[in-house]
Chains A and B, each alone.
Chain A
Amino acid sequence: MRPSNLKTENKKLKEKELSVKSKTNNLSIIRDFIYNAAFEIGFSAEVIDNMILAVDEACTNIIKHAYKSYPEGEITVKLKYADKKFTIIIIDHGTPFKPETVPDPDLQTYYRQHRVGGLGMYLMKSLMDEVKYVSVPGKYNQVLLSKNLNSTL
């Protein structure tokens, strides 16, 4: 019986879920949620910081663009850890996102326009091993971020 018990416990430990409303004051709750899970898995402090930032950027984009700052939307963050790979799936039900329409960051454009756009996505791609968007129009949007435990940065 022992192996099956162990399996159940592991499953409990390695899958987690958090749902919050689409308000910017929930970003810190999401960051804490990622910190606790990543710390438990054993990621280095530096990698944890990077993952927290990537998830913050993804959720900030959802609040501002998918929900257009409407505060009653739902954001669900699902975590999985298997085969040394930490997977973070973030789901919303707002306007579908088209990653191909986001320009690469350009400092001169920011300077002229007094605003930044696309920085968050650039950070996510730079800081995570994998960034994948899936939208099912009228149903949900999903962004998947992953990081391998052996990744250095």
Chain B
Amino acid sequence: MAEFSTSTKDAGDINVIYLKGYLDAHTAPVLENTFSELIDKRKYSIVVNFKDLAYISSAGLGVFMAFIEKIRENSGDIKLTGMSDKVYNIFDLLGFPLLYEIFKNEDDAIKKFNETK
């Protein structure tokens, strides 16, 4: 069975979620839980780091859609970083770069949050 896990890092007001493995319809609930836990703690400034993500299907992309409006209503955002070309191409094909800011480096994504505060 394909493995997927998340881990989080508290970077001050900003939280980073690290994705690892295969994100599909089977594992998407793991990421949903991670988002829900942060939102329950009123953490709305979230960077998602894709560097160890091997695979994503539309079920995984749907997780980002599920939470983005609530997060933005609370003056937060989801910013994305560390995507492989393969994962970026899928995001791009679906037009997601219009909705989410995507950064090469995690530091740049964090910096962007700090600038807009």
Contact = CB atoms under 8 A, between A and B. Distances in A.
Given A105-B94, A111-B99, A116 B68 contact: no
Interface stretch (A24-32, A78-86, A89-97, A144-152): A24-32
Interface in A13-40: 24-25, 27-29, 31
B95 A27 contact: no
A66 to B, nearest CB: 13
A123 B24 contact: no
Contact of B68 (A24, A28, A29, A111): A111
A56 B65 contact: no
B96 interface: yes
Contacts of A46: 86
Interface string B64-101: 01111110000000000000001000100111101100
A115 interface: yes
Contacts, number: 73
A120 B58 contact: yes
A122 B57 CA distance: 12
A57 B58 contact: yes
Contacts of B55: 31, 52-53
Contact of A119 (B26, B58, B67, B99): B58
Contact of B69 (A52, A111, A120): A111
Contact of B62 (A56, A116, A123): A116
Interface of B: 1-2, 22, 24-26, 55, 57-59, 61-62, 65-70, 86, 90, 93-96, 98-99
> Lowest 4 A-B CB distances belong to which pairs?
A28-B2, A24-B26, A119-B58, A116-B62
